Amino acid sequence: MHSYDLSQWILFFFIYSFVGWVWESCYVSVKKRRWVNRGFMNGPMLPIYGSGALVILVSTIGVRDNPALIFLLGMLAATVLEYITGWAMEQLFHVRYWDYSNQKFNWNGYICLSSSLCWGFFSILLVKVVHVPIETAVLKIPEAVGEGAALVLSVAAAADLTQSFNEALDMKRILAQLEESKKQIHKIQDRLKLASEDVVEGYRRRSEEWNKKKGSRKAAYLERINMNRQERTRQLDKLAERAELLLKEELPAKVEGLVGRERREELAAIRDSIRQELRKMGARTDRSYLHAAKHLRRNPTAASERFREALEELRKFIDS
């Protein structure tokens, strides 16, 4: 195998990143039945394929005439790269851009046996077939032209990577906010449920007390309780389900008077929690949502253990 200079290695990286993008985009588009600009970056390149091709070429330099060693060394090198890349990206963004958890013989979902075997066969195909004409073409490029092309492509890729990295951070931030908001709403629902039960119990307890003191008012008061109890309970349940409508003025003044100061403070705290969640939702800009949705659209197989529900919620946003 020829000894390459730095600009030639860079050109190989971009060529194979583009070839990988074409393959992945076409494959995923056929499965999704719509065009998908696949990959972490906006431009037509998948760095994992470019990096994979380079580590295969480097690891098999001395054994290019031995297909068995090409398969073995290429498979090992690409598998290690895939694992490290998948692990690092999940640590940064808390999202798995590929996930083999459902595949047999996987390791932490980052790699699996079938994927590694594919890398092995791809290594033979790359070294023996694909790289031969590409190597010939790149070696024919004049040195000055090759260096200029490598510089231009590197600058463009750096700009794209910066934008894509920011989009990934936007998605991470939106997912974290959605997950935290969901937890807070669940807490509010639980607190409101308890408050609702206390309201009903307050009616019952006060009715019994008033029955002992003022028997003549029993029938009229219980009639009002029976008429309003279910309606008030449904109202409170509805408010729990739709947190944005939970405002203090919707709670009947009579209920507040019956349940006492402590319960009024609890209901006021619930109201304040809801308003805080509404302010948080208002702080999420459309731009951040669009960036997150755009990034997820390019990575439809992304998964996240930490933000599972939030990721599904965001996925519904882009599919609607």
**Cα–Cα distances in Å, from 214 out to 193, 205, 218, 283?**
31, 14, 7, 53
**Mean pLDDT of the region 236-264:** 47
The half-sphere exposure of 301 on its side-chain side, counting CA atoms within 13 A, is 20
Q: Whole-model pTM?
A: 0.66
| Whether residue 91 is found in the same domain as residue 217 | no
Burial 116-141 (b: 16+ CB within 10 A, else e): beebbebbbebbeebbeebbeebeeb
Is the four-CA dihedral 227, 232, 235, 237 of positive or negative sign? negative
| Whether residue 95 is found in the same domain as residue 38 | yes
Q: What residue numbers bound the domain in which 76 lies?
A: 6-141
Amino acid at 215: G
Residue 230 has pLDDT above 50, yes or no: no
| Whether residue 299 is found in the same domain as residue 220 | yes
Tens digit of each residue's pLDDT (9 = 90 or more) over 61-95:
889 889 999 999 999 999 999 999 999 988 888 88
| Whether residue 183 is found in the same domain as residue 306 | yes
Residue 242 three-state SS: coil
Report if residue 263 sits inside a domain: yes
Give dist(CA 200, CA 213) in Å, integer.
Answer: 20
Question: What pLDDT, on a 0 to 100 scale, did the predictor assign at position 268?
Answer: 62
Give dist(CA 182, CA 30) in Å, integer.
Answer: 34
Question: What pLDDT, on a 0 to 100 scale, did the predictor assign at position 227?
Answer: 44
Question: What pLDDT, on a 0 to 100 scale, did the predictor assign at position 248?
Answer: 43
Tens digit of each residue's pLDDT (9 = 90 or more) over 283-300:
555 567 677 777 888 887
DSSP tally for the chain: helices H, then strands E: 10, 2
**Mean pLDDT of the region 211-238:** 45
